[in-house]
Chains A and B, each alone.
Chain A
Amino acid sequence: MTTAPATLVHPMSKYIREDRLPWIYCPGCSIGIATGMIVRAIDNIGLDFSKVVFVSGIGCSGRTSGYFKTGTFHTTHGRAIPFATGVKIANPDLEVIVVAGDGDLAAIGGNHLIHACRRNIDMTVVCINNWNYGMTGGQFGPTTEHEKLTQTSPPPIGNMEHPFNLIKLAASSGATFVARWTAVQVRRGITSIEKGIKKKGFSFIEIVGACPTAYGRMNKLGEGVDMHKHLLEVTDIQNGLPPHEAEIEYDKRIVCGEFVDIEKPEYTDVLKQMHAKVRK
């Protein structure tokens, strides 16, 4: 009798619905790396995973919630944050994490994002910025740079609009923890996600990634490996830089780091105070 070869078990597999693998993502996509960062951050903190709730919206990044082996909810386009807010207020003991793309969070869900920052509810938002709408085949979105090519920003001009800088948006809207890393700064990204989760307040972490299938192809940015190598080359780590200086320019310089870490009364804490006062 021969012994069956030992099966390699991924150290993070306990957090993942393996019965749903292989997942939908294209070769060279950054979403898998970002998903890995999130579960490693949770593993490092040692959270009770059954008390962690994932909420996502629509798009490639919106599909991530379905791969986490805990309570997960896949909302409509842009509505992950309001759904997550309802969850957190109804049960403040839960650790609520929103994983979403740039289009979902900053375009159709943009109003919810800025108001959640202002409201300061304790949750962690991980925004995977791949510079375009990937799932629908590559259209320009709220982070697409000026003159870049997409299916809806064709030559000769390319994108006629201008992008949001999500760090500036979140910081100026009142988020209490704001950080940006690219998909190749995995260790630093994990640390920031840990800090975001531990933060009693609204945390926004942007993971700048690559969409070689759509955005990369149309703008001749190379394969997934090329794009990730490029992200490493243009990263400029500037922890503590004022958020309004956290520039992002795909070709030249992507400023990464932790830019905001402030204290502000958190919504569910204030609600508890309200309960205590009115019940006197």
Chain B
Amino acid sequence: MPRREIFTMGDIACAEGAISAGCRYFGGYPITPATEIAEWMAVRMPEVGGAFVQYEDEIASITSALGASWAGTKAMTATSGPGASLMMESVGLAVMTETPVVIVNIMRGGPSTGQPTRGQQGDVFQAKWGSHGDYQIIGLTPASVQEMFDLTVRAFNLSERYRVPVFVLADEVVGHMREKLVIPDEKDLKLVDRKMPTVDPSDYLPFKPGDDLVPPMALLGTKYQFYATGLTHDERGYPTDSDEVQIELITRLSEKVLRHVYDIIDVEKYMLDDADIAIVAYGTPSRSARKAIKDARAEGINVGMLRLKSVWPFPEKIVSELGSQVRHIIVPEQNMGQIYYMVRAFAAPTPIHLMTKPAGTPQLPDEILQKIKEVHSL
């Protein structure tokens, strides 16, 4: 399809991004504030020859997406906090079986049922540590309707490239805001497909990685026979309780992500060159921060922003360098402080100031401006 410009909502931009990325399977369950993604997919998937399937719960939704992925279809699910909690089991299965899958979480107020119609950023840590065991995932954090599209495309590409579940973590405000969306000409989109095996089927080892630590992925129903399991497995895919295999596998599953941070991490540096105060933000609070920075600069305060478009794997090196560049760092988050702790871990001993707001209304520009002035006076 040629380039198009439409005025639309973040959730719909996300769905269109998925379709442009080649997603042809959506498994979901209705949940506010992510339902618009499912509704849009219910109409659009059949139009592009794909499938929208509504399941009995979020556990089935994500698990079916894993099945579709192993049958060779780019697959996704979308949900919000309560559904994300149910999905954590299969996030671990996707990590262990190295299944490409995209999980969108339009974050609402929690814990529990919380505030379904109101935004928050309370699930950022859950995305990283929600399933049991040690592992790495990728988490992207859009802050606009356009980024809902762009980062969803990117989520599919990264998921295919590294055979890892990728989260799109958007707060409800980003999911429901309406802005201009430019859908690029499909010829201009760079899409990535998973590596497939080329060896003779008798030589195929389903979990033997390449130099990039990612194994080529055979599909179900092909000449390649294999066993994929959530159990710790060797290169043949066979279960084992060996210490050596467990250590090798778990290390590789993390390393295949961590070794490629240069390719995965995505940040925007806004007015940081001469800054002595930095704001680290993502999602909706970063939009308020941008306005506050302009206002503060009008009053002669050198402040800038490191905007995280990806939070997992955490940009440790970039934040560490930021810590040595500026006098103070402010972290406004729509939660009780999550990424704040990551910033503190890597930017210390630079003072880190947390602005919490675990509620539907994000930090307003004026509130951030006041905080900048307060920190500036220290």
B73 touches A90 (CB 8 A): yes
A71 touches B25 (CB 8 A): no
Is B317 among interface residues, defined by CB-CB distance under 8 A? Answer: no
Determine the distance from Cα of A93 to Cα of B228 in the docked complex, in whole angstroms: 20
Given A112-B60, A274-B46, A279-B47, decide whether A87 and B70 contact each other with a Cβ distance below 8 A: yes
Q: Which of B12-20, B218-226, B291-299 faces chain A?
A: B218-226
A82 touches B59 (CB 8 A): yes
B53 touches A85 (CB 8 A): yes
Interface size for A (C-beta < 8 A) is: 39
Interface of chain A residues 98 through 149 with chain B (CB within 8 A): 111-112, 115
Determine the distance from Cα of A43 to Cα of B230 in the docked complex, in whole angstroms: 29
Given A86-B71, A87-B68, decide whether A69 and B238 contact each other with a Cβ distance below 8 A: no
Determine the distance from Cα of A265 to Cα of B90 in the docked complex, in whole angstroms: 30
Least Cβ–Cβ distance between A81 and chain B, in angstroms? 8
Interface magnitude class on chain B: 35 or more
Given A70-B225, A90-B51, decide whether A76 and B72 contact each other with a Cβ distance below 8 A: no
B90 touches A71 (CB 8 A): no
What residues of A have a CB within 8 angstroms of the CB of B238 in the complex? 20, 66
A87 touches B220 (CB 8 A): yes
A73 touches B228 (CB 8 A): yes
Determine the distance from Cα of A112 to Cα of B55 in the docked complex, in whole angstroms: 9
B75 touches A86 (CB 8 A): yes
Interface of chain A residues 63 through 105 with chain B (CB within 8 A): 65-66, 69-76, 79, 81-91, 93-94
Least Cβ–Cβ distance between B13 and chain A, in angstroms? 22
- Chain B 22-63, CB within 8 Å of chain A: the 1/0 string? 001101000000000000000000110101010111011101
Determine the distance from Cα of A63 to Cα of B347 in the docked complex, in whole angstroms: 48
Residue pairs across A and B with CB atoms within 8 Å: the count is 140
Given A82-B67, A86-B63, decide whether A72 and B227 contact each other with a Cβ distance below 8 A: yes
A76 touches B90 (CB 8 A): yes
Is A248 among interface residues, defined by CB-CB distance under 8 A? Answer: no
Determine the distance from Cα of A73 to Cα of B57 in the docked complex, in whole angstroms: 21
Is A55 among interface residues, defined by CB-CB distance under 8 A? Answer: yes
Given A20-B238, A86-B25, decide whether A73 and B70 contact each other with a Cβ distance below 8 A: yes
Most buried by A among B24, B71, B89, B220: B220
B226: which of A52, A55, A72, A111 is its contact (CB, 8 Å)? Answer: A72
Is B375 among interface residues, defined by CB-CB distance under 8 A? Answer: no
- Chain B 199-220, CB within 8 Å of chain A: the 1/0 string? 0000000000000000000111
B221 touches A50 (CB 8 A): yes
> Which residue of chain B has its CB nearest to the CB of A51?
B221
Least Cβ–Cβ distance between B289 and chain A, in angstroms? 40
Is A1 among interface residues, defined by CB-CB distance under 8 A? Answer: no
What residues of B have a CB within 8 angstroms of the CB of A115 in the complex? 55-56, 60
Interface of A, secondary structure class, is helix
Is A10 among interface residues, defined by CB-CB distance under 8 A? Answer: no
Most buried by B among A72, A84, A88, A93: A72
What residues of A have a CB within 8 angstroms of the CB of B231 in the complex? 74
What residues of B have a CB within 8 angstroms of the CB of A85 in the complex? 53, 60, 64, 67
Given A94-B221, A278-B47, decide whether A83 and B227 contact each other with a Cβ distance below 8 A: no
B222 touches A50 (CB 8 A): yes
B222 touches A86 (CB 8 A): no
What residues of A have a CB within 8 angstroms of the CB of B92 in the complex? 76
B222 touches A74 (CB 8 A): no
A87 touches B226 (CB 8 A): no
Is A198 among interface residues, defined by CB-CB distance under 8 A? Answer: no
B67: which of A86, A271, A278, A279 is its contact (CB, 8 Å)? Answer: A86
> Which residue of chain B has its CB nearest to the CB of A118?
B56
B57 touches A87 (CB 8 A): no
Is A17 among interface residues, defined by CB-CB distance under 8 A? Answer: yes
Given A82-B59, A82-B60, decide whether A75 and B221 contact each other with a Cβ distance below 8 A: no
Is B65 among interface residues, defined by CB-CB distance under 8 A? Answer: yes
Determine the distance from Cα of A115 to Cα of B51 in the docked complex, in whole angstroms: 18
B27 touches A75 (CB 8 A): no
What residues of A have a CB within 8 angstroms of the CB of B71 in the complex? 86-88, 90-91, 94
Given A83-B63, A86-B67, A91-B71, decide whether A275 and B49 contact each other with a Cβ distance below 8 A: yes
Interface of chain A residues 7 through 49 with chain B (CB within 8 A): 17, 20
B220 touches A94 (CB 8 A): yes
Determine the distance from Cα of A65 to Cα of B220 in the docked complex, in whole angstroms: 13
Determine the distance from Cα of A112 to Cα of B53 in the docked complex, in whole angstroms: 14
B49 touches A90 (CB 8 A): no
Given A82-B64, A90-B75, decide whether A76 and B230 contact each other with a Cβ distance below 8 A: yes
Determine the distance from Cα of A91 to Cα of B227 in the docked complex, in whole angstroms: 18
B57: which of A51, A53, A69, A111 is its contact (CB, 8 Å)? Answer: A111
Most buried by A among B24, B56, B60, B68: B60
B225 touches A50 (CB 8 A): yes
Given A76-B89, A85-B67, A90-B75, decide whether A66 and B225 contact each other with a Cβ distance below 8 A: no
CB pairs A–B below 8 angstroms (25 shown): A50-B222, A51-B221, A53-B221, A66-B238, A71-B70, A71-B218, A71-B222, A74-B230, A76-B89, A76-B93, A82-B27, A82-B55, A83-B67, A86-B25, A86-B63, A86-B75, A87-B67, A88-B67, A89-B25, A90-B72, A91-B72, A111-B56, A112-B59, A271-B51, A278-B47
Q: 19 extra interchain contacts, Cβ-Cβ under 8 A, other than A71-B70, A79-B60, A112-B59?
A: A50-B221, A65-B227, A66-B239, A71-B220, A75-B230, A76-B90, A79-B90, A85-B60, A85-B64, A85-B67, A86-B66, A89-B64, A89-B68, A90-B24, A91-B72, A94-B220, A111-B57, A271-B46, A275-B49
